[in-house]
Chain A
């Protein structure tokens, strides 16, 4: 029955047309919370060297789930996924060291992280981007500027800086990783957020009062 073979392809096409691209959704609803996720992981997971892997696995799970159905509350869904994943990992590990992980029930997410996100304005985003850019190492920073702002080709960048094209390509690769790390990850969004987090940490458990 040839029609059976045609059918799934047709379905795929329909889904694609209705879909506001999964990747866009992921960048818009999930990646923007990477900073909060990283702080949560750093607080909850003892093995720092595993956090990069944890983050990837959380993203994979969220992405796979969202491919089937988009969660209504993407941010809480991501944190729930993170908590489940850490719980799973603890259960699977042969030797559970209490010291290593602490109390699983304590893996509760601070209210700050589940409160409705204060979306950054375009200008705040730009500043955040500028500060991420400023954290790049010198040469990498120069390559990224020439390529992205002045829109020189990699070849032109190489000629301008007197370095090989291969080096430019390597610096671009490095730049993309670091900008992702700084823009989505670690850096506090801005002072207001940072202050709230500090208060929440100080208050330890009284964070509930601070939602705004």
Chain B
């Protein structure tokens, strides 16, 4: 019933799998990507077959959660973990989490059961200590800061998050992954090393992935900025709606990456320079030859009283220096002294105009 001139679905699947394996092999060039894209563009059947295998292949990365504590280089025997699931599926997760440690000794050789249980118990204990809400199999907690607020959040895995002003995040710690959904604003992450559980910060269609490193992620509407001060992180974007694959970018320490609809721009420099983008953590904002419009927007992130640029010529003036972000008045006063600017207070806004 399918046209005889068309490749069968099994053949298509074979080709899709071959592409996936080749891409996985390393040395993947832009030309390779073009060829893959061309093949995908030939038919929706190709896209669907590839996306299905790709999704499953990504899932298989979660097997890392099972590799935690294993001797490297030794592939565990089949069924090493099968016991853990036996007959437990209908037990509500909450009671299971509490019940398993006691059953551990009875389970005896059921090593994986103990592993699951230990991890679950640890997460439970820590989450209770922090007053987190406990969901079925994962720990999930939501944090938000008001404008001008700054919050240091210790996570159960030993990582620390510094949540900047006017920001919001959802933290989900599961066996396979440490997941932060940065819903708004900016946060700095000092990530504890845990190879079994990648640390993933997602912002809409993009993901920043690390194992043990220090970096900041900031979200501005559709744009994303990633600043890396230690280690290496990976920036991934979802495929576009038309199926076009977005490139993955590796960011070493010192990188300042900006991702927008137009693509990803990476600036690499000394780590100290990258650190300046993170001075907000100690209450400062730093500018170097920065347009005043940008500097004002930066101040406005931290304050309910907003600086408004009244003239384009004012917005284009360049400013530099370190300023305490909580002190808008001092910044505005300095501007009025050092630049041909006149300031005007109108309720909660301060308008800057050319003098």
Contact = CB atoms under 8 A, between A and B. Distances in A.
A191 B72 contact: no
A19 B136 CA distance: 29
Given A20-B205, A134-B82, A183-B59, A147 B238 contact: no
B25 A60 contact: no
Contacts of A154: 24-26
B204 A20 contact: yes
B346 to A, nearest CB: 34
Given A21-B241, A141-B75, A172 B20 contact: yes
B80 to A, nearest CB: 8
25 contacts: A20-B205, A21-B239, A24-B239, A26-B51, A27-B51, A52-B8, A60-B45, A63-B47, A122-B137, A124-B85, A125-B62, A130-B82, A141-B78, A144-B60, A147-B24, A148-B60, A149-B66, A150-B72, A154-B26, A172-B21, A176-B60, A180-B56, A183-B56, A183-B59, A192-B90
B241 A60 contact: no
The 6 A-B residue pairs with the shortest CB-CB distance, nearest first, are A21-B238, A180-B56, A56-B9, A173-B21, A121-B137, A27-B55
Given A122-B138, A142-B75, 6 more contacts: A60-B45, A121-B136, A127-B81, A155-B25, A176-B17, A190-B89
Interface string A163-201: 001001110111111011001100000111000000000
Contact of B137 (A124, A144, A172): A124
Interface residues of B, number: 71
Contacts of A124: 85, 89, 137
A146 B75 contact: yes
Interface size classification for chain A: 35 or more
B240 A176 contact: no
A79 interface: no
A13 B261 contact: yes
Interface in A26-80: 26-27, 31, 50, 52-53, 55-57, 59-60, 63-64, 67
Nearest to B10: A52
B107 interface: no
A148 B26 contact: no
B240 A16 contact: yes
B125 interface: no
B52 A180 contact: yes
B222 interface: yes
The SS class assigned to the A binding surface is: helix
Nearest to B262: A13
Interface string A80-111: 00000000010011000000000000000000
Interface of B: 1-2, 8-10, 12-14, 17-18, 20-22, 24-26, 44-45, 47-49, 51-57, 59-67, 70, 72-73, 75-76, 78-79, 81-82, 84-85, 87, 89-90, 93, 116, 120, 136-138, 174-176, 195, 204-205, 222, 238-243, 261
Nearest to B66: A130
A180 B57 CA distance: 7
Nearest to B12: A56
A56 B48 contact: yes
Nearest to B196: A149
A129 B193 CA distance: 24
A160 B72 CA distance: 12
A167 to B, nearest CB: 11
A121 B339 CA distance: 59
Contact of A133 (B8, B21, B44, B60): B60
Contacts of A122: 137-138, 174-176
Contacts of B85: 124, 127, 131, 190
A52 B2 CA distance: 12
Contacts of A176: 17, 20-21, 53-54, 56-57, 60
A206 B56 CA distance: 35
Contact of B1 (A23, A89, A169): A89
Contacts of B26: 153-155
B240 to A, nearest CB: 5
Contacts of B66: 126, 130, 149
Contacts of A114: none
A16 B24 CA distance: 26
Contacts of A23: 51, 54-55, 238-239, 243
